[in-house]
Chains A and B, each alone.
Chain A
Amino acid sequence: MSENIKAPKIRAKKGRKKSRLPLIMGASITLIMVIIGLISIFWIPLDVNESDPSIRMLPIGTPGHLFGTDYLGRDVTSMLMTGVRTSVIIGACSAFLALFIGTMFGMLAASVSKLDEPIMRTADIFMAMPGIIFALVLASTIGAGYLTTIFALTSFFTPAFVRVTRASSMRVLAEDYISVARLYGRGKLFITFRHVLPNISSILIVQFTIYFAAGVLSEAGLSFLGVGINRPSVSLGMMLHEAVEQIGITDPLGVWPGLGIVILVIGLNLLGDGLRDYFDPRFSQRAR
């Protein structure tokens, strides 16, 4: 015990110092990827759909084609830049929509017992729908593309936010200080936003970044299956699909888009970790 009395001061300092590194790294990586995406809106080296048979399969580092060209002579650098943009837009939109809708319904389910069952059963229904099959059916109804993919991913992600929000809200609501707040006469709305939301925010932030990243990954997966983003749009998953279908898995063209996805997702996750430590000082000070 004596060790515990002295310890907090030193450890809290150490913890704070340590917690900045993931935040800075994650924010930098995410920022760089977002900037690449932004640049690609205004400028890319060459048209992503312009093929030139005379310059097929140029190796990496060729002047004018930094990442070489693909089997039709299209510029890989341009495709990668556009692909990053697609990933960021789809990941961010679907995760944000799911966070917003999911948190609302999750907290509602946790605090209003009459609405608990209907909300959770609806979430179950959506969750039980295999997301990829759902996206596939959607893609054949309203056509594959940006909006379809975002819609499918949001529907698929929202129940996860509802469930996690509800589970952690209920854990908070079972705490003694909530009973005290109730005895004090605080209303449900006040308790929800003043006590529950701040206490579950660390979980939600982690959840948001995971699902931003999951959105990036799922979009890649859907495009890899051929039901996500298709030409003339470009996505990293679609590039891998083309590479594998056309030239086989041994070709280096199957590496860059995959690496792009990995870097973006790692950046997002680091950012989430960093933000959690930053917003939740309780975490770094009290953790033993």
Chain B
Amino acid sequence: MGRFILRRLVFFAITLLITSVLIFALIRAAGGNVAAILLGKNSSAEEILKLSTELGLERPLPVQYFEWMNNFLHGDLGQAFRSKQLASHLIWTQAPVSVPLSLGGLLLAIIIAIPLGTYAAKNFNKPSGAFVALLSQIGIAIPVFWAGLLLSLVFGVHLGLLPTGGWVPWTENWVGSLRSLVLPVFTLGIVMASTLTRYTRTAILDVMNEDFVRTARASGMSRRVALIKVGLRNASLPLVTVLGLLAAEMVGGTVIIEKVYSLPGISRMILDNVTAREVVVVQSTVMVIVIYVMTINLIIDLAYGLLDPRIRVGK
């Protein structure tokens, strides 16, 4: 197991390195002439060249990349060209919105989906199981932003129970912050839960057909016990994969939900900074998000090994 973890960690580092090159290349390719965009339309070629040199954008790209990476690894994420704000500061001020939203949504999805999916699989030929399957079908079909719009229409506009958008900082009024997060988290949670419920149901139905469940049943376990003791552990392998996929999708969902509820989160900050061509800020922020997603994936890979010894030994 120790070797397995070590291998994973080494690959984690290598993957991050390659990803950072990709991000850099992609964003620089998209950037166009950053200085020209910063200065606006009425700037002369000399002014543009001067600012480019000042910002260090005229140097060869590999040099810029190594400088960025070097600083990044030392905890310096760079600063915005225009406002001179530190990227780390920007991320730090947005994180209290995005992190609770994304993790809250994921957690809510797991809490709802695993029992519901298992239930739907167990009762797949009964009306109750079919009803759960139907609910998850409808849930999957609803676009996350439309769900957000409908929920804020019902709970915000018509019932007036919760704010339809905007944000109160935690330090100012944490009850207010929580209230602004309820609808977004709920939206993200139920949308992801629908997908997860469906996968759980499929995975468990697949496992129910396996010989080892039949053997467990034949050895005298009731269907419920066989399902939980033998089935769920075996079904967890594809499920864990799906959870990893959901973690990446969660970031996308967060971008859209922050837009719907006009929350000042990390994703909105990226949107703004891509438009403003603040390349260094965008690079660093995207890199931080990638590390976030990759860490979740690493944990999932390790869980793979824990759940299925065959994979661990096979390595």
B-contacting residues of A (Cβ < 8 Å)?
Answer: 1, 11, 14-15, 18, 113, 117, 121, 124-125, 127-134, 136-138, 140-141, 160, 163-164, 167-168, 170-171, 174, 202-203, 206, 210, 213, 217-218, 220-221, 224-225, 237, 240, 244, 249-250, 254, 258, 261-266, 269-270, 282-283, 286-288
Contact = CB atoms under 8 A, between A and B. Distances in A.
A266 B145 CA distance: 17
B100 interface: no
A36 B16 CA distance: 45
Interface residues of B, number: 65
25 contacts: A11-B125, A128-B293, A129-B290, A131-B251, A133-B289, A140-B274, A164-B241, A164-B242, A164-B245, A167-B238, A171-B237, A203-B202, A206-B202, A210-B198, A221-B145, A221-B256, A224-B256, A225-B259, A249-B152, A261-B143, A261-B146, A262-B143, A262-B146, A263-B141, A282-B209
Interface stretch (B18-26, B87-95, B171-179, B181-189): B18-26
B241 A202 contact: no
B209 A125 contact: no
Contact of A140 (B11, B30, B241): B30
B244 A163 contact: yes
B9 interface: no
A158 to B, nearest CB: 12
A193 to B, nearest CB: 20
Interface string B210-251: 000000011000010000000000000110011011001101
Contacts of A254: 149
B311 A170 contact: yes
Contacts of A136: 270-271, 274
A172 to B, nearest CB: 11
B140 A265 contact: yes
Given A130-B251, A131-B248, 14 more contacts: A125-B22, A134-B26, A137-B274, A141-B29, A168-B238, A174-B310, A225-B256, A225-B271, A258-B146, A262-B143, A270-B137, A287-B124, A287-B125, A288-B208
Contacts of A287: 124-125, 205, 208-209
A6 B26 CA distance: 63
B37 to A, nearest CB: 11
Nearest to B289: A130
B19 A249 contact: no
A210 B15 contact: no
B141 A213 contact: yes
Nearest to B240: A167
A282 B267 CA distance: 45
* Residue from B27, B149, B205, B242 with most neighbouring chain A CB atoms (10 Å): B149
A220 to B, nearest CB: 5
A258 B149 contact: yes
Given A130-B290, A240-B146, A288-B208, A262 B141 contact: yes
A130 B266 CA distance: 12
Interface of A is mostly: helix
B30 A137 contact: yes
A213 B238 contact: no
B297 interface: yes
Contacts of B256: 132, 221, 224-225
B206 interface: yes
Given A141-B30, A160-B245, A170-B311, A265 B141 contact: yes
* Residue from A14, A124, A138, A163 with most neighbouring chain B CB atoms (10 Å): A124
Contacts of B205: 283, 287
Nearest to A18: B125
Interface string B1-23: 00000000001001100110011
B291 to A, nearest CB: 8
Given A127-B293, A206-B202, A221 B252 contact: yes
Nearest to B256: A221
Contact of A250 (B157, B275, B286): B157
Q: Which 4 pairs between the two chains have the least Cβ-Cβ distance?
A: A265-B141, A258-B146, A141-B30, A130-B251
A250 B149 CA distance: 9
Nearest to B149: A249
Given A137-B26, A258-B149, A288-B223, A125 B252 contact: no
Contacts of B206: 202-203
